[in-house]
Amino acid sequence: MWLYLVALLGLWNLLRLFRERQVVSHLQDKHVFITGCDSGFGNLLARQLDRRGMRVLAACLTENGAEELRSKTSDRLETVILDVTKTESIVAATQWVKERVGNRGLWGLVNNAGIAIFAFNEWLNKQDFAKVLDVNLLGMIEVTLSMLPLVRKARGRVVNVSSVMGRLSFFGGGYSISKYGVEAFSDSLRRELSYFGVKVAIIEPGGFKTALSSNDRVSPTIKMLFDQASSEVKEIYGEKFLSSLNSLMETCSEDLTLVTDCMEHALTSRHPRTRYSAGWDAKLIYLPMSYLPTFVSDALVYLSSVKPAQAL
């Protein structure tokens, strides 16, 4: 009996591997629009797809970021300035994309742009939450809705960058909230667009060293948020959290290709996955923890995290 089960599992994995290795044809004719290409995952993915011969339309927040990306890629890659928090910027970028893809439509939309604030909830105010949600969730939704007619025309792909913190929330602030929202929006979008032959994939990276998680950016931001908190909150939480969070960032992986390879597969495979977990920590720690009973996952998070001063 067990032998049959093992054989069946082995055959299923072989079939899955065979299906996932099948590549979409005529990649050199397909356009992919990527947000957040100034640095990190978006920048690396743009260069990766450009080397593969695809027509990359890279959206950057700054002209310096766009200029630097163009200097490292072929003439096929084109850039546009995009602020996902501004409707007029999204409308202009959509028209720009439409002029370039023509009747072929947009094969791939990669919603990668994002920001992060990691802190205890009590350190923050409403504006701190809104700032993150405006980029990571609402901006992503507006870009998607604006580009959907072009993607539907090509029967293409939507790739949304979520996070393991969209499955298991370790810190306060708007980051996890936004990523839980990305998961929900992507699920509903996938089911709706399946009728039109459009596939939607979610990328769930673990801890990676990008501009969002670099100590040069995280440390000053966390210190600023702690300083803006009331004296009572400072006394309750203490400053131990600051150094501990910075230490946690040092454990992040520097190999960003673990994420961009997942993105590339979602765009180029004939049978992409619904979800991609990128990084050993995502696969071996965070994803399994998300399936544990709540009291077990809560206990593990509690034991591994820093407690407020008055809880020690």
Annotation says 286 is catalytic: no
SS (H, E, C) 267-290: HHECCCCCEEEECHHHHHHHHHHH
CA atoms within 13 A on the CB side of 172: 15
255, two tokens: 């190999």
DSSP class of residue 307 equals: P
**DSSP E strands, the chain:** 31-34, 55-60, 78-81, 108-111, 157-161, 199-205, 275-278
> Which residues, other chains included, contact 95 with Cβ-Cβ below 8 Å and sequence gap of 6+?
none
Is the dihedral angle over the CA atoms 158, 48, 113, 274 positive or is it negative? positive
CA-to-CA distance for 268 and 271, rounded, in angstroms?
A: 9
State which amino acid sits at residue 82: L
Catalytic residue among 4, 175, 276, 302: 175
Query: 279 to each of 25, 254, 301, how far by Cα in Å?
Result: 28, 10, 19
Whether residue 189 contacts residue 145, with contact meaning beta carbons closer than 8 Å, is answered with no
Catalytic annotation, residues = 175
